[in-house]
A = this chain, B = another copy of it.
């Protein structure tokens, strides 16, 4: 498998590991503003979606949609945000973020300008705790290639 010794996503999981196959993994990002923020990370060091074979792209998409579906089912977010950027870490990963009209940046992207302070904090507003959400993601993805 392609690997880069200088890449943080080759050296470590990149967050709390929720699910892992030989091809990809799902991690949860530790972000107080966005407590339902997952990343689907391709395990091999490739930069772009078009570097994957069609089968591998379908596998990645399927995993992204599975995470999105869990977030929609359990949190009923205002919107799901998906992004594959990688300008700083050019190792293929897709952000899957539940966004809410009350969150710190809505309707701006999470990389945009903060719109408000959120009190009580974001995690306390989720319908279920992150650890339980992780379990739902893990169960939904169990057994997938």
Contact = CB atoms under 8 A, between A and B. Distances in A.
Nearest to A73: B50
Sorting the interface of chain A by its residue count into under 10, 10 to 19, 20 to 34 or 35 or more gives 20 to 34
B107 A88 contact: yes
A82 B81 contact: no
A57 B48 contact: no
B85 A83 contact: yes
A84 B68 CA distance: 12
Contacts of A72: 48, 50
A87 interface: yes
Contacts of A81: 83-87
A87 B106 contact: yes
